Structure 1
């Protein structure tokens, strides 16, 4: 599962159909009549019953009003986040409602938003959504089944390649009547598909008719969500205003949420300047990702007297994998032994101590901070998945638990570098005149690390120094956000620092990350260029997992195969959100487990104004 309305967090039919031949009869014997309900859970039961009042982590009496000002890095030139071109403005998801709304205190459950009810059978080979009669776009037009069909058609044919991959198993979409739409899927027991279909922001067909969907545009779009664009300054700021006529504001899933009258994003080209602007009161809220800034930058009178609050909040989500990412389409990185060798040059322990103020934990798994991490030898259930792939995966998958190279933190890494050098020599590279060269062609080993944030140079520099001691030449290239996005989309890089985010219920997005079908399709998130049938098979198994236990087993098996192919050099993670905000907000006493819950906050000024008017608040 990934959250589609926050643009930047598969399966082959033949393999899955073969598996279904074996399991199909048993499924047919135990299937029950389709059930109509108010929500869907990935596995198990829904937390909230039909007719519930509000999410537990939202205050239903939260006052409306006030402004939330945030920051963004870089620039923007488009209000269309669904295409491969352009840099979309932050916050665009506020414009659109989806068929279903995710609960942030359950691993993966959704409740009806545009859809009043959802009907599906046990095998989940199809799903039907009945739209709410009152659902309206911001121009007053009703949301219909035709809008749903149009949305999926245009996203899969003209949108980012991600959509075609993510929704590859949608076989047919049909309108049963004006407010009822049915999705049919090509594979049984892809339990996630009905949920991820429900996540897509629905686009108005009447608005996009006659418009060029594939070209970036700053035309203000029509949506059905709680906010609309009130104004913008191209590339510098965008302001959203809460719609007083929002059709869904009284739904249980919306009560106590979307409380600010105005949400504004100001853009900064430099992160350091942005932090200083925050301390000067230019905007209200920061989610900090830099350990150095967190340790040294959040000081001053406003912190001392409490005008700015600084907190670390537990994060219940898997942390995913942040790493140095190899582009294996490059010949020099095609050999897993070479990739493994270069990992010995990254001294996390020294970096953490001297640069990060010991703030981070070393990442070893693609599913860190979760039960899905392969942090022990495969058990019996995992071996059932892995044994048929034994001749396609590294032998260490069965005999060792992967751990990224470690040091004592002293900065003395001669032992580690020697291990790396031996691996490089075994792979056909030799040391000549203080340079690593190809033993056959004499070509020097040299590559470029592409960065978008200048601040990351301090992390990369020690890594490069160690690589140079191994005879490897490395260049750093820093580009602006637009160039960076375009180069990633076209796979025009040797190595980048990037991440593969994970949710508590991974699913179809794994195809976009790892599947062979996406390796050479520009715009997908298979940045590594993985073409591995064993990985494909395990992705298929994960997506088709019939229950939570099967999903965990498949994720662990996938994890260890990715680990031992050395597709990345793992970096680090932190299992908390580091936030700072000006002390002018109220928030519920209960926090959601799987999200920060910023959309449940409210402005204290709004609370005071409400109290003065005689209305009750909590």
Structure 2
């Protein structure tokens, strides 16, 4: 289940249609996909917050690239960072539970035992920033415009058959099928937009258009609103002093900064230097080289800058070199496996990453959903259903990546890669790998940042030793996004984050239908009937045990088809910050909660010194 948002009952699967009595069941305050919610309906605040956290101060953050719109509905253009701060959703997630959501705009929800619909009841006090109530009409209109204008959202919510107002404060989502226990919760995560504002006129009397980009600050309902901006460079949000939801239990101790500012940088190197010069406050460091070598500067030595790593407990990841299977040269699994044999991860990890990483060996790496060993029990039963559509070896042999690290192992791996390419119909002529028609095998690795360029250039010589003509193309962020959306690439480096409760998003990651849709997250173009069948097993799992077994089966089949060349992972988030902030002594289990539950610490800030403008 995606990025990202609860209510006092577990979702239990049930055969047969829902009864009228179920449809009129009492509204509940929360919902969970993994047992019952932790917090009762009358809870005062989440355990992990400081309910007395001071309000005030400013937080400066950075972003890469640029922005040209405040309309996040349409896929065109680059929407500004932080727009989620200005909008509320029907529900919001807690950080110390998995896949559990609590009412935000909604005070409660109810659904039948077959999950064929869900009704949300809105809070009477919920308001837009102009004081207008948030209504079921806003919810219905939001769903309509989001699914009409965003292909990704239309795909994600494709099982929603209808959305309608069913009471003064009630809105009902009806699904085209039962049994999908995730659907009642994921519709609660949808951004709710103000119908009256978007269908009105701007200060010049021109009608607004939700289908177009805009730099007019939009009306919101959340804890922040846009204060000021410089197109493409800076956007500043200010805390709404009379925010309608400030005293809700889910919001107590959160949204503590008076101002949140995003500064945009087009170059990673400049962005890092700007942090060291105190131009922004908090940085997630994705470069192992930077983490090992770039933070030896006076402010760090003096204790003004803090480096801290936070363990990732709530998610897994697959990061990989991703070949575009829509192109004929990558459609043979032997070719893709050969590309895996050519990757010297151990050498790369030592030379480029300072031995900080481990190799990814699962699409759910770092979680209990990762397949291990050989299939058994319920997983084996599930795989028997697709036995004629999967590589036979997965039933008897654990999946492993090739291991290098020594010159002998590298040579052996390259010999194996050459054998696989030969089996796939390629041969070397004049030091060039060609197919049966004499066409050379070429490979362009598309990247959008210098850190990935270094990785691609390390990979390049081994591929060239196979006879592959390799080029590494570095483009700016906007061009990279456009080319990936249009599937105009041979290979990219990409990552898919995985929650502990996977569901409908798996279709967007690996499903056959998403392979044909520009803008989906099926970057590789995976279109495989066994994968499709196993995705449905994940989505329609009736309990946690079945979900884990189905995820293991899906993971195993994805791995054994060699759709991608697994890369590296680190089960921690590396952060650097100027020491002007504090957080509760006990952070939640599944997030370090920045910046939501952190606050400006005036005493610390006085020691560090004033932030530079």
TM-score range (shorter-chain normalised) is: over 0.9
Q: 1:525/1:78 Cα in 2 relative to 1: closer, same or farther (>3 Å)?
A: same
| Distance in structure 2 (CA, Å) of the matches to 1:136 and 1:195 | 22
Deviations for 1:365-392, whole angstroms, at most 9, x for unmatched residues? 0000000001121112012211121111
Aligned residue for 2:386, secondary structure, equals: helix
In structure 2, stretches of 5+ residues that fail to align are 6-12, 200-206, 607-613
- Distance in 2, matches of 1:43 and 1:202, equals 26
Confirm whether residue 144 of structure 1 aligns to residue 135 of structure 2: yes
Runs of 4+ in 1 over 6 A off after TM superposition: 30-33, 606-609
Matched, 1:67 2:64: no
| Cα displacement string for residues 39-61 of structure 1 (whole angstroms, at most 9, x for unaligned residues) | 00012110011111111111110
Give the CA deviation at 1:121: 2.1
Partner of 2:286: 289
Residue 348 of structure 2 is aligned to residue 351 of structure 1: yes
Q: CA deviation at 1:454?
A: 1.9
Correspondence for 1:192: 182
Q: For residue 85 of structure 2, what is the aligned residue in structure 1?
A: 94
Q: CA deviation at 1:211?
A: 2.8
2:506 and 2:467 mapped to 1: Cα distance?
A: 35
* Counterpart selection for 2:534 from 517, 538, 543: 538
Asked if the contact 2:334–2:421 (Cα under 8 Å) also holds between the matched residues in 1, the reply is yes
How many Å apart are 1:81 and its aligned residue?
2.0
Output aligned runs, 1:291-330, within 5 Å: 291-330=288-327
Of 510, 514, 519, the residue aligned with 1:523 is 519
Instruction: Measure, in 2, the Cα distance between the counterparts of 1:139 and 1:606.
Output: 36
Structure 2 Cα separation of the partners of residues 526 and 412 of structure 1: 33
Summarize deviations over 1:555-578 as a string: whole Å, max 9, x none.
111101111111100001111111
SS of the equivalent of 2:197 reads helix
Residue 402 of structure 1 deviates from its aligned partner by 1.1
The answer as to whether partners of 1:110 and 1:195 remain within 8 angstroms in 2 is: yes
| Equivalent residues of 2:309, 2:572 under 8 A apart | yes
Query: How do 1:196-215 and structure 2 match up within 5 A?
Result: 196-209=186-199, 210-215=207-212
CA apart distance, 1:214 = 2.5
Question: Is the CA contact 1:350–1:410 (under 8 Å) kept in the aligned structure 2?
Answer: no
1:92-116 deviation digits (Å, cap 9, x = unpaired) = 1101100000011111100000001
Alpha-carbon distance change, 606 to 255 in structure 1, aligned in 2, over 3 angstroms: farther
Deviation (angstroms), 1:458: 1.4
User: Could you tell which deviates more after superposition, 461-470 or 208-217?
Assistant: 208-217
Select which of 109, 113, 125 maps to 2:100. 109
2:228 to 217, 224, 231: 231
Say if 1:230 and 1:33 are closer, same or farther in 2 by CA, change over 3 A.
closer
What is the rounded CA distance, in whole Å, between the counterparts of 1:3 and 1:517 in structure 2? Answer: 21
CA contact (8 A) 2:320 2:494 kept: yes
TM-aligned CA deviation for residue 493 of structure 1: 0.8
| 8 Å CA contact 1:586, 1:603 repeated in 2 | yes
TM-score w.r.t. length of structure 2: 0.93
In structure 2, how many angstroms separate the alpha carbons of the residues matched to 1:567 and 1:283?
39
CA–CA distance in structure 1, aligned partners of residues 16 and 581 of structure 2: 56
CA distance in 1, matches of 2:474, 2:208: 35
Q: Is the contact made by 1:4 and 1:200 (CA closer than 8 Å) also made in structure 2? A: no
Partner of 1:171: 161
- More relative contact order, 1 or 2 (CA 8 Å, 6+ apart): 1
Pairwise CA distance, 1:409: 4.6
Cα distance in 2, alignment partners of residues 588 and 411 from structure 1 = 51
Any conservation in 2 of the 1:126–1:182 contact (CA below 8 Å)? yes
- Aligned length, in residue pairs: 591
Checking the alignment, whether the CA contact within 8 Å between 1:67 and 1:260 is kept in structure 2 is yes
The partner residue of 1:549 within 545, 548, 555 is 545
- What's the CA shift string for 1:297-335, capped at 9, x where partnerless? 111111111111111111103331010011100010111
Q: Spell out, residue by residue over 1:132-169, the C-alpha distance to the aligned partner (whole angstroms, 9 max, x if none).
A: 0010111221100011011111111112x111111111
**Equivalents in 1 of 2:542, 2:169: separation in Å?**
30
Matched, 1:182 2:179: no
Q: Does 1:504 align with 2:494?
A: no
* Post-superposition offset of 1:208: 1.6
> What is the CA–CA distance in structure 1 between the aligned matches of 2:43 and 2:223, rounded to whole Å?
21
Instruction: Please report how far the alpha carbon of residue 547 of structure 1 lies from its aligned counterpart in structure 2 after TM superposition.
Output: 1.3
Q: In structure 2, how many angstroms separate the alpha carbons of the residues matched to 1:416 and 1:213?
A: 53
**Which residues of 2 match residues 2-41 of structure 1 at below 5 A?**
2-3=2-3, 24-25=15-16, 34-41=25-32
Stretch moving more, 323-332 or 30-39 = 30-39
Paired residues of 2:17 and 2:114 also in contact (CA < 8 A): no
